[in-house]
């Protein structure tokens, strides 16, 4: 189990849009009493059936809180309920936060998206690309056809090596870039020392791109990444409980993490595995994972995005920057997209998926066209739905990633059962 959890760490990143039949907006709003009852029933049943230990959800619509509830236990062994103050590991829901931090510097003219990454991080100059191995087992490399751009690291097309090619996976393991004793500078140097898995721009492959973004923020701002997040995002938005290290005074609110076995039984992941990164000030401050947060904190971040970059009197980004982030950056010619198509009819913007069309079957996750979203390795989820002016945040702490179709069930509870285009439901 320890190897399983460690393997997750490096992974876990307006206008009006048309909606499909069951999702038309109305003056009364989407999340009415019937929808709230449906969400309650869905989440409660998952706890009653022991699918996960604890669940909580918070939804805002048109600037107002329209749903909150929590079910089950944040710590089953201590009999501590899941509640609004529960702190969870958000894993890859750290990625959109990093993207926002980077784009605050974009707005200041610090870089352009199509700038070569090596302009700011020279260790990425003259990258080599893996071609295979020769008859003697020696790795064959060739020069990259073009430089990695900043746009590449915001949309996962840089070509950074993953774990699916054994020869490259061995090098990734040896580099140990995400050892928590590494600084971001050291981690990025190790990433840059590895061959690329493919030529920049040729494929979509999830990886350490957002950690490279975090280092870029340090270079462009002249500040440690954690400090920049605190000053530019967390403090202005009032995100008082979002940290890399959970403060001692808040440890009693920190959720346990559970693993669901093939037999359907839940077992607690030992705290020394699940929490060691979060209870010490390590040198590493990843851009792609590592933050902890609460429902209300992350909801404030999401509401800033649905409000075109501002929350109350606080502006983080310009509306046009949010629109850029929420616009698909993947060309149609880029057909190799790893597991991204499993998210539905989506492309990828700047550090989150962008829904480019309605679900095409009842098996696909529900949602509104134009929505942008992402999730985390411990089965957390958030989305921003501009068409309905909705933000939703769903928390649990469950490995492996969403083995219970939690995200689909929650989305179906919010939006209703799938209705094929042209079907009136009668």
Whether 291 has a pLDDT exceeding 60, the answer reads yes
Cα dihedral across residues 161, 165, 168, 170: positive or negative: positive
Integer Cα distance of 133 and 145 in angstroms: 19
**Mean pLDDT, residues 420-424:** 65
pLDDT confidence band for 423 (50 / 70 / 90): low
Whether 341 has a pLDDT exceeding 50, the answer reads yes
What share of the chain has pLDDT > 70, as a percent?
92
Tokens encoding 396: 């649990």
What is the three-state SS of the chain? CHHHHHHHCCCCCCCCCCCCHHHCCCCCCCCCHHHHHHHHHHHHHHHHCCCCCEEEEEEEECCEEEEEEEEEEEECCCCEECCCCCEEECHHHHHHHHHHHHHHHHHCCCCCCCCEHHHCCHHHCCCEEEEEECCCCCEEEEECCCCCEHHHHHHCCCCCCCCCCHHHHHHHHHHCCCCCCCCHHHHHHHHHCCCECCCCCCCCCCCCHHHHHHHHHHHHHCCCHHHHHHHHHHHHHCCCCCECCCCHHHHHHECCCEEECCCCCEEECCHHHHCHHHCCCCCCCCCCCCCEECHHHHHHHHHHHHCCCEECCEECCCHHHHHHHCCCCCCCCCCCCCCHHHHCCEEECCCCEEECCCCCCCCCCCCCCCCEEEECCCCCEEEEECCCCEEEEEECCEECCCCCCHHHHHHHHHHCCCCCCCCCCC
Whether 369 has a pLDDT exceeding 60, the answer reads yes
Diameter of the chain measured on Cα atoms: 69
Cα dihedral across residues 236, 242, 245, 247: positive or negative: positive
Integer Cα distance of 416 and 425 in angstroms: 11
**Mean pLDDT, residues 182-187:** 98
Integer Cα distance of 69 and 58 in angstroms: 7
At residue 418, the pLDDT reads: 82
Q: Are 54 and 82 in contact (CB under 8 A)?
A: yes
| Residue-wise pLDDT tens digits, 19-60 | 333 344 445 799 999 999 999 999 999 999 999 999 999 999
What share of the chain has pLDDT > 90, as a percent?
91
At residue 419, the pLDDT reads: 80
**Mean pLDDT, residues 249-265:** 97
**Mean pLDDT, residues 163-178:** 96
Domain 2-94+224-415: top CATH class: alpha beta
**Mean pLDDT, residues 240-246:** 98
**Mean pLDDT, residues 138-157:** 98
At residue 52, the pLDDT reads: 98
What are the residue ranges of helices labelled H in 222-294?
225-229, 235-237, 271-274
Tokens encoding 355: 């829904």
Residues forming beta bridges with residue 310, ordered by sequence position:
315
Integer Cα distance of 150 and 315 in angstroms: 24
At residue 393, the pLDDT reads: 99
Phi, psi of 136 (to 5 degrees): -95, 5
User: Can you name the CATH fold of 104-221?
Assistant: Methane Monooxygenase Hydroxylase; Chain G, domain 1 (1.20.58)
Which positions ≥6 away from 145 have C-beta within 8 Å?
129, 199, 200
Whether 345 has a pLDDT exceeding 80, the answer reads yes
At residue 27, the pLDDT reads: 55
Dihedral in degrees, nearest 10, Cα atoms 331, 332, 334, 335:
160
At residue 417, the pLDDT reads: 84
What is residue 116's DSSP assignment? B
Whether 178 has a pLDDT exceeding 90, the answer reads yes
| Residue-wise pLDDT tens digits, 199-210 | 999 999 999 999
| Residue-wise pLDDT tens digits, 108-119 | 999 999 999 999
Q: Considering the chain, what is the average pLDDT of its residues?
A: 93
Domain with CATH 1.20.58 in the chain: 104-221
At residue 3, the pLDDT reads: 44
- The residue length of the chain stands at 426
Q: Are 401 and 377 in contact (CB under 8 A)?
A: yes
Q: Which of 186, 104, 193, 118 is nearest to 152 (CA)?
A: 118
Whether 140 has a pLDDT exceeding 60, the answer reads yes
Domain with CATH 3.40.710.10 in the chain: 2-94+224-415
At residue 19, the pLDDT reads: 33
At residue 422, the pLDDT reads: 65
At residue 25, the pLDDT reads: 44
């Amino acid at each position: 189990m320890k190897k399983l959890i460690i393997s997750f760490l490096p992974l876990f990143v307006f206008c009006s849009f048309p909606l499909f039949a069951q999702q038309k907006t109305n003056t009364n709003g989407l999340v009415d009493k019937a929808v709230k009852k449906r969400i309650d029933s869905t989440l409660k049943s998952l706890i009653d059936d022991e699918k996960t230990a604890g669940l909580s959800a918070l939804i805002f619509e048109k600037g107002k809180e329209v749903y909150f509830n929590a079910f089950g236990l944040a710590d089953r062994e201590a009999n501590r309920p899941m509640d609004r103050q529960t702190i969870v590991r958000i894993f890859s829901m750290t990625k959109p936060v990093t993207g926002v931090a980077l784009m605050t510097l974009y707005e200041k003219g610090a870089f352009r998206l199509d700038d070569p990454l090596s302009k700011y991080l020279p260790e990425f100059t003259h990258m080599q690309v893996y071609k295979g191995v020769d008859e003697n087992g020696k790795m064959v490399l060739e020069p990259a056809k073009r430089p990695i751009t900043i746009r590449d690291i915001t949309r996962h097309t840089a070509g950074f090596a993953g774990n699916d090619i054994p020869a490259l996976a061995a090098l990734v393991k040896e580099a140990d870039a995400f050892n928590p004793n590494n600084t971001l500078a050291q981690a990025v140097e190790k990433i840059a020392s590895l061959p690329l898995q493919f030529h920049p721009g040729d494929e979509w492959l999830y990886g350490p791109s957002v950690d490279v973004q975090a280092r870029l923020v340090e270079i462009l701002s002249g500040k440690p990444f954690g400090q920049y997040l605190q000053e530019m995002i967390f403090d202005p938005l009032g995100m008082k409980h979002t940290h890399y290290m959970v403060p001692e005074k808040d440890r009693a609110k920190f959720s346990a993490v559970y693993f669901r076995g093939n037999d359907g039984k839940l077992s607690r992941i030992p705290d020394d595995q699940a929490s060691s990164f979060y209870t010490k000030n390590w040198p590493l401050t990843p851009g792609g994972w590592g933050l902890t947060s609460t429902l209300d904190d992350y909801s404030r971040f999401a509401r800033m995005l649905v409000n075109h970059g501002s929350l109350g009197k606080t502006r983080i980004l310009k509306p046009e920057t949010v629109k850029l982030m929420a616009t698909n950056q993947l060309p149609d010619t880029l057909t190799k997209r790893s597991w991204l198509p499993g998210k539905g009819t989506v492309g990828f913007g700047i550090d989150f998926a962008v829904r480019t069309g309605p679900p095409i079957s009842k098996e696909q996750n529900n949602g509104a066209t134009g929505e942008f979203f992402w999730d985390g390795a411990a089965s957390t989820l958030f989305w921003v739905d501009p068409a309905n002016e909705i933000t939703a945040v769903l928390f649990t702490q469950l490995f492996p990633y969403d083995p219970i179709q939690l995200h689909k069930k929650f989305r179906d509870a919010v939006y209703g059962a799938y209705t094929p285009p042209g079907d009136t439901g009668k």
